Structure 1
Amino acid sequence: MDEQTLIKTSLLEIFNNNGYRDFARMTQRDFEHIGEQLRLKSGILISATTIKRLAYGEFSRLPQIATLNAIANYFSYKTWQDYKADRIKNEPEIQPASKGRHKFRLTYLSILAAVCILAGIYMFSTTKRTVKNAGKAAFSFQKTTSNEIPNSVVFSYNIDQVQADSFFIQQSWDKNRRVKIDKNKYTLTDIYYEPGYHIAKLIANDSAISEVDVSIPTNGWFFYAIDNMANYTPEYIKADQFVTNGSLGLTVAQLLANRIEVNKDKRYHYVYYPDQREVPSDNFKFKTRLRMREVRRSACPYIEVELYCQRSFMILRSTTKGCAHEALVQFGEQVMPGLDTDLMSICFDVSQWTDIEILVKNKITTVKINDKEVHKTRFVTDTKYLTGLGYISNGLCEVDKTELIGLDGKVMYKNDF
């Protein structure tokens, strides 16, 4: 199998894992969803346009290594080379026939068999997607703990009158958190390992037939680390003191005290999720002053500011100008990765104190860095209310001040530390 075929085959497998059986019918939003799944697994965002182009085989040369690594990370491999080597190693060999006629016959029969199998799978999956009486399903939840992390949630459901081949409850965007459920049973206890605003789904076959919003607030700042490659298990960081010399932040000593392996490539999260949601995500102002300190040497250090909404994310990932391909801007449905967007204007030396301002007015977003306007865009998605804010980096952020205020004057968070 050559690399171009492996890329297309891998993407089709990713589509299938996310419930897209026929990628020819996928919409732009579907491709954006796949891009988000890749980002969540790898920290690397591939644009919907790039994913679509690769899936259709519309490329004459191999994509950038970051794109290939993102695909490999999805399958829990650290690099594309590791993934490719393992796939090729496990690919069944076909011994060449002694005569050209036999080789042709074997190839023809192999292709014919593959076509028949794929046709059968498609027909089976098309039939399997049929769901009846979806409107008769019941789905709700109750938290059994307060705001502790991890947090147990009891889901109540009734699918007795729904006709489908299989049923699942998926606690959030992560399909790995999908749990199979059965008729004539009515409760499922699940665990949330990360705080935040989650959308749990009741799934019949491949379709979400009901959703509930599950809020897991933090009662203040919450800290954790995640391996940057092929692992999405949080490592909690307990810190009694996290404000030093007028700045919010952690130290390497605190990481070591929490048995964090600082020699590994990790993403360090500082997040804050309040109980109440009063600031609309289409009219607010966010201002912060920050920098980062490296934990381990990195060719591309970055700081990522995330504003979490009831629907979707708002992300500004800045890095050094030499690593502009790693930058990212996302507001609602507008996803602009540095791989195929010129984001040089939002890049700066992240080791130096920098002022960032994000103003959203009637879904028009203006970004300023050190009082200079560097980016402007408009989104149309109804992202509803802001649910939290976060600082994420491959080093340790230091935050001198933060304020997140609605244009109507309502304050979600304000602190000069």
Structure 2
Amino acid sequence: MVSDSTDLLRCKQLIERKLDWGASESWTSVDFENLQQRILDETGVSLSASTLRRIWGRVDYQHLPSNTTLNTLAQFAGYPDWRTFIKSQVLSDLPPTPVERLTREPVKHAINWVRLSWIAGLFITIVLIGIVAFDQKQPHLNTNQYSFSSKPLTHSIPNSVIFTYNASASPTDSVYIQQSWNPRLRALVDKDSQTYTSIYYEPGYYRAKLLVGKQIVKEHPLLIPTNGWLGTIATKPVPVYMKPDEFIGPTMMRLPVAGIQQKNVPLQPEVPLVKYFNVGNFDPVPLADFSFSSDVKNEYGEGAAACQQTWIELITDDMPITIPLCTKGCVSELTLLDGSHMISGKKTDLSRFGVDYANWINVSCKSDGHKLYYHINGELAYEAALPKKKVTIVGIAYGFRGTGAVRNINLQANDKQVFHAF
């Protein structure tokens, strides 16, 4: 069991009340995977489902969580960081002022050291909170005094990117370059330098940022493309990259279970995530008038993979479009993105995205200039309003919890074919 401190126990209780999923003792593997996604969505930090199971005592582990993990849990519970959470607990734990009992002994000027220590502790706590609050106040910066650009070095993955910047006007040494929206992918750089390199292990459309303290002073789009199709098994810290002939065939993409095992990636109890990407290899397609269709099949449903979670992502230059699928009994765990909003299966009827993988599943998504329409096997499954701003599709990705197959990929713009595969 995790060597729980009282503070960690209280933090977990706050998280459990926030989630309102019932007693944590009854949580399943899917619940911990969903918690992993919720924490990632809200904090930008990915805590693995296995780490979360350890923290909640599902796995025998004799160490306290790392500082990064504690900070992330505190943020998800509603605090800026673990230190602030601890301070809040100190304030709430202060006992009432002791009532002095009268004594017959003539001690006229005795000092109540117990009370004095509590008062001193309270004063120090208040001062520290004030310092933290003061540090969080940052004067508005003139962004025109800063510059920031980037250059990918290859058309393949992994891809190193050279960032060129000028942050010499910064009033602080806290200058950072952030690869994307994820604060975890943030690096401290020398404000008086001009070059920093970073590596991207997955393709996609990112918004790189230059920050001074907590203020974004410059940001720009950054497309990390693939050289054709890229297949990966998501492992940390670096994915396992597949050779084309290991997953690409003449009529479909498919990574057999044996292909995963040959890479020494375990299938249980943590079911691997298999991904296929194609980014930056066709002209951008406007979301206002497009049509996409494809056939998919999830081919692994053993043990912890019973939900056979699958999704298709239309990578855009803004929020992506995602089409989630799973077995019928697991639709509560689905999350759909419509280019503007994140739609949870816990609050929306996404039951039509529950499927039987005994046969190929035909998935399509299209727009008519006003709305997005999602179809599963020819039936309307969901519709949503188009984003108000101009958005274009720049790539396609597939994800399978376990492994799966893809065929008949078609993407059109203005009724003209832009991309086709298999």
Q: For residue 326 of structure 1, what is the aligned residue in structure 2?
A: 333
Whether the 8 Å contact between 2:226 and 2:279 is mirrored in structure 1 is yes
Q: 1:288 aligns with which of 267, 288, 294?
A: 294
Whether the 8 Å contact between 2:315 and 2:393 is mirrored in structure 1 is yes
Deviation at 1:276, TM superposition (A): 4.3
Whether the 8 Å contact between 1:4 and 1:62 is mirrored in structure 2 is no
Q: Secondary structure at the match of 2:276?
A: strand
Whether the 8 Å contact between 2:309 and 2:401 is mirrored in structure 1 is yes
Whether the 8 Å contact between 1:271 and 1:389 is mirrored in structure 2 is yes
Cα deviations by residue, 1:290-312 (Å, 9 ceiling, x for unpaired): 11111753221111111100111
Whether the 8 Å contact between 2:36 and 2:47 is mirrored in structure 1 is no
Whether the 8 Å contact between 2:362 and 2:376 is mirrored in structure 1 is yes
Residue 143 of structure 2 aligns with an amino acid whose one-letter code is A
Residue 149 of structure 2 aligns with an amino acid whose one-letter code is S
**Closer, same or farther: CA 269–107 of 1 in aligned 2, 3 Å:** farther
Whether the 8 Å contact between 1:250 and 1:397 is mirrored in structure 2 is yes
> Are 1:393 and 2:400 matched, yes or no?
yes
Q: 1:246 aligns with which of 251, 258, 274?
A: 251
Deviation at 1:170, TM superposition (A): 0.9
Q: Secondary structure at the match of 1:154?
A: strand
Deviation at 1:117, TM superposition (A): 2.5
CA distance in 2, matches of 1:8, 1:136: 46
Whether the 8 Å contact between 1:334 and 1:379 is mirrored in structure 2 is no
Deviation at 1:196, TM superposition (A): 1.7
Residue 233 of structure 1 aligns with an amino acid whose one-letter code is V
- TM-score of the superposed pair, with normalisation by structure 2: 0.75
Q: For residue 240 of structure 2, what is the aligned residue in structure 1?
A: 235
Residue 371 of structure 1 aligns with an amino acid whose one-letter code is G
Q: For residue 139 of structure 1, what is the aligned residue in structure 2?
A: 148
Q: For residue 319 of structure 2, what is the aligned residue in structure 1?
A: 312
> Are 1:121 and 2:132 matched, yes or no?
yes
Whether the 8 Å contact between 2:369 and 2:386 is mirrored in structure 1 is no
Q: Which moved more, 1:291-300 or 1:238-247?
A: 238-247
Whether the 8 Å contact between 1:274 and 1:388 is mirrored in structure 2 is yes
CA distance in 1, matches of 2:364, 2:117: 64
> Are 1:83 and 2:55 matched, yes or no?
yes
**Closer, same or farther: CA 59–107 of 1 in aligned 2, 3 Å:** farther
Identity of aligned residues (%): 23
Whether the 8 Å contact between 2:170 and 2:191 is mirrored in structure 1 is no
Count of residues paired in the alignment: 364
After the TM superposition, which residues 197-276 of structure 1 pair with which residues of structure 2 at under 5 Å, given as runs? 197-227=205-235, 231=236, 233-244=238-249, 246-263=251-268, 264-276=270-282
Q: Which moved more, 1:286-295 or 1:60-69?
A: 60-69
Whether the 8 Å contact between 2:233 and 2:273 is mirrored in structure 1 is yes
Whether the 8 Å contact between 2:267 and 2:402 is mirrored in structure 1 is no
Cα deviations by residue, 1:267-287 (Å, 9 ceiling, x for unpaired): 110111134433112321111
Q: Secondary structure at the match of 1:78?
A: helix
Deviation at 1:134, TM superposition (A): 1.8
CA distance in 1, matches of 2:298, 2:200: 28
Deviation at 1:84, TM superposition (A): 4.4
Q: Secondary structure at the match of 2:11?
A: helix
Q: Secondary structure at the match of 2:306?
A: coil
Deviation at 1:386, TM superposition (A): 0.7
Deviation at 1:156, TM superposition (A): 0.9
Q: 1:372 aligns with which of 376, 379, 382?
A: 379
Deviation at 1:106, TM superposition (A): 7.2
- TM-score of the superposed pair, with normalisation by structure 1: 0.75
CA distance in 2, matches of 1:60, 1:400: 38
Deviation at 1:140, TM superposition (A): 1.1
CA distance in 2, matches of 1:68, 1:400: 32
Q: What residue ranges of structure 1 are gaps of 5+ in the alignment?
A: 12-52
CA distance in 2, matches of 1:165, 1:280: 41
Whether the 8 Å contact between 1:310 and 1:383 is mirrored in structure 2 is no
Deviation at 1:205, TM superposition (A): 0.9
Whether the 8 Å contact between 1:237 and 1:255 is mirrored in structure 2 is no
Whether the 8 Å contact between 2:301 and 2:308 is mirrored in structure 1 is no
Q: For residue 346 of structure 1, what is the aligned residue in structure 2?
A: 353
> Are 1:278 and 2:284 matched, yes or no?
yes
Q: 2:185 aligns with which of 172, 177, 183?
A: 177
Cα deviations by residue, 1:392-413 (Å, 9 ceiling, x for unpaired): 011222113111111x134332
Q: For residue 363 of structure 2, what is the aligned residue in structure 1?
A: 356
Q: Output the aligned Cα RMSD.
A: 3.7
Deviation at 1:108, TM superposition (A): 7.3
